[in-house]
Amino acid sequence: MEINDTQENINEELLIQTANEGNLDSFREEFLDLHPYDQAQFFFKIDKEIRLKMYYYLSPKEVADFFEMLEIEDEEYKDILAEMEPKYAAEMLANMYADNAVDLLNKLGKDQTASYLTIMDKDAAQEIKGLLHYEEYTAGSIMTTEYVAISQNQTVRSAMYILKKQAPTAETIYYVYVIDEDLRLAGVLSLRDLIITDDDTMISDIMSDRVVSISVGDDQEEAARQMRDYDLLALPVVDFQNHLLGIITVDDIIDVIDEEASDDYSKLAGISDLDKMDKSPFTAAKKRLPWLIILLFLGMFTASLIGRFEDTLSQVPIVAVFIPLIAGMAGNAGTQSLAVAVRGLATGEMDESGKFKIILKEAGTGIVTGAICGILVSLVIFIWKHDLILGLLVGFSIFASLLVATIGGSLVPLFMHKLKIDPAVASGPFITTMNDITSILIYFGLATMLMSYLIQ
Amino acid sequence: MEINDTQENINEELLIQTANEGNLDSFREEFLDLHPYDQAQFFFKIDKEIRLKMYYYLSPKEVADFFEMLEIEDEEYKDILAEMEPKYAAEMLANMYADNAVDLLNKLGKDQTASYLTIMDKDAAQEIKGLLHYEEYTAGSIMTTEYVAISQNQTVRSAMYILKKQAPTAETIYYVYVIDEDLRLAGVLSLRDLIITDDDTMISDIMSDRVVSISVGDDQEEAARQMRDYDLLALPVVDFQNHLLGIITVDDIIDVIDEEASDDYSKLAGISDLDKMDKSPFTAAKKRLPWLIILLFLGMFTASLIGRFEDTLSQVPIVAVFIPLIAGMAGNAGTQSLAVAVRGLATGEMDESGKFKIILKEAGTGIVTGAICGILVSLVIFIWKHDLILGLLVGFSIFASLLVATIGGSLVPLFMHKLKIDPAVASGPFITTMNDITSILIYFGLATMLMSYLIQ
């Protein structure tokens, strides 16, 4: 359900009017009172000329606060950054949380990134450089270095003092990480723990030393799984020696979960980059055509396979009538198995050790569904066409196709997972076409064998 | 990537050994040191006899802490609750966060819920009863009443005092909600705001009075969208007079996002309840058969349609060769449009006002992709079969089928959305079969018209 609540929050006309009148104070008062998300919505929606004024009305830090909430195309980010003075843009980047600044810089070219880093405040540039080299989709690529860390040999009182000092810049203050002398992650405590504990208690007495953490090179999906399972608001990221490198916050994980789900979904539908709405039929067609053209050639291959059975077709044309039924059933059974395997791998419910068992289970499922659908279709055709042989031909083809499709639908993603390829790449359309081909071979092979019985 | 980190955290053997030896203290020390998620994993994995001992070793409150982290089938919840003494189970339910207790009770029958509520602590029972009547999938159904609320006419010092007192039972203390004399939601502040502000500051001076909130009857997806867009850790739920009724916390929203994505995904694949791994081929088959059998009958209908063209088929059997190609292309183009529309509606990027524009855009996309694929296929068939008429027949059929499929694929979910039906119900298999039928009608209709040219 879509309710455009954000509209109510923004008094657009008033903002545009005060900006045009050059009424700095009124504009600032009205604009800075908005939630950063609403500020971002307004900022992106209005004309460039008003945005140009806003760069004078607002400090780079104030722009940074809502810039992180923008959700726009890479090209649009480039255009907007080009509107700003380079010095202003660099200062804004320095004022963003490091992980978000890195996200943004990754969308720009290397040259532009380098030039912003050169004119930026040295400390901020250092922090951003440290994060820039992590590979996409790893835990490292979505972590931030703005966390609160303390040592265990202090009291709650001094920990609270450190926390208060770091609160304005830390991305979250709701978890405090405890590190030892070698900067290794030793424990964790929540702000809740700090607040309900007596001021003179030692940190080492109240911290939990079983910290859920993730390796910097691990997949971001694994980070999402851990934060979901353990209900965490932040997850510490460590290197192989358990040094604390950064934290991942829950708002970034929500984006990861959204992205990954959308990604699996679009691959099942055979379409790339579903998340961004296309503005014209041509950009939409560009995303869909690659899949359609590949399918076209796979379909031509299927056609050429059927072409080999032209003899059978011309002698028993009734056989053609059931082609879509058999191919469709096989395609769908395969997609079901594929979906189960892809989701199972994504949520971590399906693990390496159980692979053989899963294939066996899918084969069993194929036998059960195939037998039931096969018998059903045989009966219906027998009643409808009064032709037992034809009924048995279609029924047995459905049984065999469903069995093959079910096994194939789970084997392919498991095999890809083994090869460290994202199993969702084995997208719906491919599985469907693969099953078109096998089911048609089974069906026409049988039909040709039974031809003498089918000609009446 | 799946790493079974949880295994490392749990010293299963030691726990089982101490439990069997009746070594209460060692068991408690080792077990209570675990993260609740790991406790839940252990609890569900071990034999019933050890669980029965655990009910003596652990207090109902201690069991409640990890019971909320269990993710098991409804039947399994029933079995486990049946293992406990009713009084023990009721006390455990009373110690859970109210929203989680309600979730659990909703899985049991009405009789059992009523009996637990009768023997439960009165206050807890009252709180749970207040939440039980909200409809599933609404904001009300996932909210909790354990939030921290204060009035604006007090200082930061006294607010911190209230917070500390409520910290042990509140589900989150990281947001504090400000209510007026009539219990209406007046403002919000974060614990971060409280911590960095001087103790004598008035709450009214630092609270934000533009609170993002959601109506109790709104869809939980809308709550998820707001929390994602505004990067919130909790979202207040209000009635139509803006009275604060409860809050939704981010951990519940992550589950909602996961569920909804999984739901859309399974409907696209034509399979129900994808999220729970099936233990046997029979339970798996039970989930998949309804879709397969409906498709079977739709497929029989398609077959009967083709059956009407038996004349055409027997005179130009080559026509049959391209059935899977045309049906497959139409099916896939329709699924692509469906996916775009369903995701667009789910993320709120596609709104009511833009519907007509979307249909137009999809029609444009259909014309572009259809024309390109149609021309391509005509050329390939002309080169392959040296038959211009056949090439044009298949090419034009693909063009027309893709156009119809693209428009249909977006019209159907938009229409369902208008009727307040979840657009994802227009699942992949149905759109595919619908497009099988229209594309075959187009193809055979044209083939019959052109028959005299095709017979050579």
Question: What residues in B contact A175, CB-CB < 8 Å?
Answer: none
Answer yes or no: is pLDDT of A1 > 50: no
Measured between alpha carbons, how far is A307 from A301 in angstroms, rounded to an integer? 10
Nearest beta carbon to residue A164 from set B196, B233, B340: B196
CATH number at residue B346: 1.10.357.20
8 A C-beta contact, residue B154 and residue B206: no
Answer yes or no: is pLDDT of A3 > 60: no
Residues A305, A215 share a domain? no
8 A C-beta contact, residue A407 and residue A359: yes
8 A C-beta contact, residue A193 and residue A203: no
Measured between alpha carbons, how far is B185 from B175 in angstroms, rounded to an integer? 13
Q: How far is CA B408 from the centre of its chain?
A: 25
In a 13 Å sphere around the CA of B390, the CA atoms on its Cβ side amount to 19
Q: How far is CA B53 from the centre of its chain?
A: 36
Looking at the complex, report in whole angstroms how far the Cα of residue A111 sits from the nearest Cα belonging to chain B: 31
Residues A430, A306 share a domain? yes
CB contact under 8 A, A314 and B310: no
Q: Is residue A361 part of a domain?
A: yes
Distance spanning both ends of chain B, measured CA to CA? 58
Question: What residues in A contact B33, CB-CB < 8 Å?
Answer: 210
AA identity, residue B174: Y
Residues A389, A296 share a domain? yes
Residues A446, A297 share a domain? yes
Residues A195, A165 share a domain? yes
Environment class of residue A49 by beta-carbon count within 10 Å: exposed (0-12), middle (13-18) or buried (19+)?
A: exposed
Answer yes or no: is pLDDT of A202 > 60: yes
Residues B125, B154 share a domain? no
8 A C-beta contact, residue B275 and residue B262: yes
**B52 in reach of chain A (CB within 8 A):** no
CATH number at residue A181: 3.10.580.10
Measured between alpha carbons, how far is A330 from A438 in angstroms, rounded to an integer? 9
Q: Tell me, what's the pLDDT at A7?
A: 45
| Window A:212-271, CB contacts with B under 8 Å | 212, 218-219, 221-222, 226-231, 233, 250-251, 253-255, 257-258, 261-262, 264-266, 268-271
8 A C-beta contact, residue A251 and residue A265: no
**Each residue of A296-327: pLDDT tens digit?**
888 888 888 888 888 888 888 888 889 889 98
8 A C-beta contact, residue B366 and residue B406: yes
8 A C-beta contact, residue A151 and residue A182: no
With bands split at pLDDT 50, 70 and 90, how would you rate the model's confidence at A75?
Answer: confident
Stretch A2-19: mean pLDDT, rounded?
Answer: 67
Nearest beta carbon to residue B164 from set A69, A195, A289: A195
Residues A64, A22 share a domain? yes
Q: Tell me, what's the pLDDT at B68?
A: 87
Residues B245, B317 share a domain? no
Answer yes or no: is pLDDT of A194 > 80: yes
Q: Is residue A268 part of a domain?
A: no
Three-point CA angle A248, A251, A253, nearest 5°: 60
Give the CA distances from residue A146 to residues A96, A149, A210, B239, B311, in Å, rounded to whole numbers and listed in that order. Answer: 11, 9, 22, 38, 75
Q: What three-state secondary structure class fits A249?
A: strand
Measured between alpha carbons, how far is A342 from A13 in angstroms, rounded to an integer? 48
Tell me which of A73, A215, A276, A288 to substitute to probe the interface with B (most B C-beta atoms closer than 10 Å): A288
Compute how many other C-beta atoms are within 10 angstroms of the C-beta atom of residue A180: 15
CB contact under 8 A, B250 and A255: no
Stretch A383-388: mean pLDDT, rounded?
Answer: 88
Instruction: Give the H or E element holding residue A9.
Output: helix A5-9
**A365 in reach of chain B (CB within 8 A):** yes
Q: Which is it for the CA torsion A165, A170, A175, A180, positive or negative?
A: negative
8 A C-beta contact, residue B152 and residue B178: yes
- The residue range of the domain holding A54 is 5-133
Last residue of a domain, one of A133, A166, A193: A133
DSSP state of A423: G
8 A C-beta contact, residue A288 and residue A282: no
**A182 in reach of chain B (CB within 8 A):** no
Measured between alpha carbons, how far is B310 from B215 in angstroms, rounded to an integer? 59
Measured between alpha carbons, how far is A420 from A427 in angstroms, rounded to an integer? 16
Domains in chain B, number: 3
Q: Is residue B108 part of a domain?
A: yes
Q: Is residue A85 part of a domain?
A: yes
Answer yes or no: is pLDDT of A39 > 80: yes
Report residue B214: phi and psi, to 5°.
-135, 145
Q: Are strands A244-249 and A234-238 parallel, antiparallel or unpaired?
A: antiparallel
Question: What residues in A contact B432, CB-CB < 8 Å?
Answer: 328, 331-332
DSSP A207-235: -BS----EETTSBHHHHHHHHHHTT-SEE
Question: What residues in B contact A268, CB-CB < 8 Å?
Answer: 265, 268-269, 339, 428
Q: Tell me, what's the pLDDT at B112?
A: 85
Environment class of residue B181 by beta-carbon count within 10 Å: exposed (0-12), middle (13-18) or buried (19+)?
A: exposed
CATH number at residue B22: 1.25.60.10
Instruction: Please give the torsion angle defined by the CA atoms of residues B155, B159, B160 and B164, in that order, rounded to the nearest 10 degrees.
Output: 160
User: Rounded mean pLDDT of chain A?
Assistant: 86
Question: What residues in B contact A226, CB-CB < 8 Å?
Answer: 5
Q: At what angle do helices A428-449 and A388-418 cross, to 10 degrees?
A: 140
Q: Is residue B69 part of a domain?
A: yes
Q: What does the H/E/C string look like for chain B?
A: CCCCHHHHHCCHHHHHHHHHHCCHHHHHHHHHCCCHHHHHHHHHHCCHHHHHHHHHHCCHHHHHHHHCCCCCCHHHHHHHHHHCCHHHHHHHHHHCCHHHHHHHHHHCCHHHHHHHHHHCCHHHHHHHHHHHCCCCCEHHHHCECCCCEECCCCEHHHHHHHHHHHCCCCCCCCEEEEECCCCEEEEEEEHHHHHHCCCCCEHHHHCECCCCCEECCCEHHHHHHHHHHCCCCEEEEECCCCEEEEEEEHHHHHHHHHHHHHHHHHHHHCCCCCCCCCCCHHHHHHHHHHHHHHHHHHHHHHHHHHHCCHHHHHHCHHHHHHHHHHHHHHHHHHHHHHHHHHHHHHHCCCCHHHHHHHHHHHHHHHHHHHHHHHHHHHHHHHHHHCCHHHHHHHHHHHHHHHHHHHHHHHHHHHHHHHCCCCHHHCCHHHHHHHHHHHHHHHHHHHHHHCHHHHCC
Residues 6 or more apart in contact with residue A185 via CB below 8 angstroms: A177, A178, A179, A211, A213, A236, A238, A242, A243, A244
Compute how many other C-beta atoms are within 10 angstroms of the C-beta atom of residue B175: 22
Residues 6 or more apart in contact with residue B297 via CB below 8 angstroms: none
Nearest beta carbon to residue A373 from set B160, B293, B335: B293
Question: What residues in B contact A274, CB-CB < 8 Å?
Answer: 339-340, 343
Q: Is residue B272 part of a domain?
A: no
Instruction: Kindly provide the b/e burial profile for residues B300-332, where b requires at least 16 CB atoms within 10 angstroms of the residue's own CB.
Output: bebbebbbebeebbebbbbbbbbbbbbbbbbbb
Residues A124, A41 share a domain? yes
Q: Is the ipTM of this complex over 0.90?
A: no
Residue A150 β-bridge partners: A178
CB contact under 8 A, A351 and B195: no
Comparing alpha-carbon positions, the chain A residue that sits nearest to B373 is: A293
**Each residue of B76-88: pLDDT tens digit?**
888 899 899 999 9
Q: Is residue B157 part of a domain?
A: yes
| Window A:287-306, CB contacts with B under 8 Å | 288-289, 291-293, 295-296, 299-300, 302-304, 306
The pLDDT tens digits along chain B (456 residues) read: 333 344 456 788 888 888 888 888 888 988 988 888 889 989 988 888 889 989 989 999 999 999 988 888 888 888 899 899 999 999 999 999 888 888 888 888 788 888 899 889 888 888 888 888 888 889 998 998 889 999 988 999 999 999 988 888 888 889 999 999 888 999 999 998 898 899 999 999 999 888 999 999 998 989 998 998 888 999 999 998 899 999 999 988 998 888 888 877 877 777 766 656 666 788 878 878 887 888 888 888 888 888 888 888 888 888 888 988 998 889 888 888 888 888 777 766 666 556 777 788 889 999 999 999 999 999 999 998 888 999 999 999 999 999 999 998 888 888 877 777 766 655 677 788 888 889 999 999 999 888 888 776
Q: Chain A to chain B, count of Cβ pairs less than 8 Å apart?
A: 381
**Each residue of B11-54: pLDDT tens digit?**
888 888 888 888 888 889 889 888 888 899 899 888 888 899 89
Q: Are strands A175-179 and A149-150 parallel, antiparallel or unpaired?
A: parallel
Residues B249, B292 share a domain? no
Q: Is residue B53 part of a domain?
A: yes
Measured between alpha carbons, how far is A256 from A95 in angstroms, rounded to an integer? 23
Measured between alpha carbons, how far is A214 from A226 in angstroms, rounded to an integer? 8
Q: How far is CA A156 from the centre of its chain?
A: 39
Residues B304, B194 share a domain? no
Measured between alpha carbons, how far is A27 from A48 in angstroms, rounded to an integer? 16
Percent of residues, chain A, with pLDDT higher than 70: 93
Measured between alpha carbons, how far is B446 from A37 in angstroms, rounded to an integer? 54
Instruction: Give the H or E element holding residue A236.
Output: strand A234-238
8 A C-beta contact, residue B341 and residue A278: no
Residues B153, B222 share a domain? yes
Looking at the complex, report in whole angstroms how far the Cα of residue B130 sits from the nearest Cα belonging to chain A: 25
